[in-house]
Structure 1
Amino acid sequence: MFIETETTPNPATLKFLPGRQVMTSGTREFTDPEAAEISPLASALFSVGDVTGVFFGGDFISVSAAPGTDWSQLKPQVVAVLLDHFVTESPLFTGGDAAGIAVPDDDDEFTDDPADADVIAQIRELIETRVRPAVAGDGGDIIYRGFREGVVFLTMQGACAGCPSSSATLKQGIEGLLKHYVPEVNEVRAA
């Protein structure tokens, strides 16, 4: 088995491509070892040392490291953990794949107004068809959180969370796209 590695726009994160499906549906982000306890793979990755984040996508795993980490030393350790996991066909989650589906938090702050249903449907379709594939290509994901008074709220995950260019991605890329196709959108904000 060969695991490809790609850089991401976030210098703290590398994207690992095992050449097979990682998640059957959805995505899952782990930002600390405690959250990773439901995944033997994520737990093993956090145990190698300087790992500060793990993100599972459809066909990739993004691993983030602490500032100043020497990837030339960390990368072989991460690859070894990934090889062991995929060669032994270990489960991704202790509770099965359903444990990995990313579901937006139930947060009253982002409850959509039913009167905006058509606008929200347009926003969600653009995010699914145009934005998410591009963000996944960089080792991350983007989650729709809500739309209120012309403002779209999104959360960046994986390599995109904490990336130095994430603000530019939101403001110049995603905001421009949404404003072009959905005139009701005035702004995009990180949530």
Structure 2
Amino acid sequence: MAVVNDIKEKMEALMDAEIRPRLWGHQGNIVIQSITDGVVHLQMSGRCSGCPSALTVTGECIREKILAAFPQIQTVIFNCVSEDLLQQARNILRRSDSAGSI
């Protein structure tokens, strides 16, 4: 676990130095959700979360930086759906389930 925490701290430093300042310029951000078995899960937030180029051009640049800086990471996964959006969908589904059972 200490190794994962060390990698996460170093990855956060990379994000703060090289990635987040560019995203902040577009009112966006990035969060490291988890690092497990050589796989890092990232979540784009702010205006970047809904932007198609955030996952294509920007996402590829982020992926390249992480893979170059951390040889122990083999895969970078961008989780596109924010927890807020998932919760909104759950609320809508609950309302429609309730309406159908009356």
Report the TM-score when normalising by structure 1: 0.38
The answer (yes or no) to whether the contact 1:150–1:185 under 8 Å persists in 2 is yes
CA RMSD of aligned residues (A): 1.4
The residue identity in structure 1 corresponding to 2:30 is I
Are 1:184 and 2:72 counterparts?
Answer: yes
- Structure 1 counterpart of 2:18, from 130, 142, 145: 130
> Runs (4+) of structure 1 moved beyond 3 Å?
none
The structure number with the bigger radius of gyration is 1
Deviations 1:47-74 (A, max 9, x none): xxxxxxxxxxxxxxxxxxxxxxxxxxxx
- Structure 2 counterpart of 1:164, from 52, 57, 67: 52
2:35 aligned residue:
147
CA distance in 1, matches of 2:52, 2:69: 26
CA distance in 2, matches of 1:141, 1:119: 19
Deviations 1:142-164 (A, max 9, x none): 11211111111111111101111
SS of the residue corresponding to residue 52 of structure 2 reads coil
SS of the residue corresponding to residue 43 of structure 2 reads strand
Deviations 1:79-129 (A, max 9, x none): xxxxxxxxxxxxxxxxxxxxxxxxxxxxxxxxxx33322222211111111
2:89 aligned residue:
none
CA distance in 2, matches of 1:131, 1:176: 11
- Structure with the higher fraction of residues in helix conformation: 2
The alignment of Structure 1 onto Structure 2 pairs a total of residues equal to: 78
Report the TM-score when normalising by structure 2: 0.68
CA distance in 1, matches of 2:41, 2:2: 16
**Superposition pairs for residues 50-129 of structure 1, below 5 Å?**
113-129=1-17
The answer (yes or no) to whether the contact 1:138–1:160 under 8 Å persists in 2 is yes
Which runs of no fewer than 5 residues in structure 1 stay unpaired?
1-112
Deviations 1:14-72 (A, max 9, x none): xxxxxxxxxxxxxxxxxxxxxxxxxxxxxxxxxxxxxxxxxxxxxxxxxxxxxxxxxxx
